[in-house]
Amino acid sequence: MSDVATRRPLPALMTLSDQAAKRLKALYAGSHQGQLLRISVGTRGCSGLSYEMNFVTAPQPTDERVEDQDVTLLVDRKATLFLTGTVMDYEVKDLESGFTFRNPNEKGRCGCGESFHV
């Protein structure tokens, strides 16, 4: 019997749904060619935290690189605690479309859906 405890694998920082990967590939091939999507978490709204997305031409020294489905995106290291295990999706609805996040760390969202808390 070993004295070393068996460690379970850590969840991926983030993964992409098929739709999110397809949309990012289209954006990277089109108007955002040569750029990468950078995801961070800021303070805003009634619940306190919000997802922020910006296209950048180069990563910050502290950015984490996420690669999934042949797509690369960046995550601000300060946001990793809040985003570990998150699935990024792309949804098309009747009146709007955009990226959404299924975050297992969220404990709640505000009524308008713009912010969350952990």
State the CATH number of the domain containing residue 80. Answer: 2.60.300.12
**Residue 93 belongs to a domain:** yes
Residue 103's closest CA among 43, 51, 25?
51
- What's residue 21's pLDDT? 97
Classify residue 5: in a domain, yes or no: no
Q: Could you tell me if residue 117 is inside a domain?
A: no
> Of all helices (H) and strands (E), which one includes residue 23?
helix 18-29
The per-residue pLDDT for 7 is 75
In which domain, by residue range, is 103 found?
A: 14-111
Give me the pLDDT at residue 110, please. Answer: 56
Number of domains in the chain: 1
At residue 43, the pLDDT reads: 79
What per-residue confidence (pLDDT) applies to 113?
52
H/E stretch holding 19: helix 18-29
CA atoms within 13 A of residue 111's CA, in its CB half-sphere: 0
Per-residue pLDDT of the chain (118 residues; tens, 9 = 90+): 555 667 767 678 899 999 999 999 999 999 999 999 999 988 765 657 888 999 999 999 999 999 999 999 999 999 998 889 999 999 998 888 999 888 887 766 655 555 555 6
Q: What is the pLDDT of residue 6?
A: 75
Question: CB of 83 within 8 A of CB of 13?
Answer: yes
* Residue 2 confidence (pLDDT): 55
Instruction: Report the sign of the C-alpha dihedral through residues 40, 83, 87, 42, in that order.
Output: negative
d(CA 40, CA 78): 8
Q: How many CB atoms lie within 10 A of CB 25?
A: 14
- What is the sign of the dihedral through the CA atoms of 29, 30, 36 and 42? negative
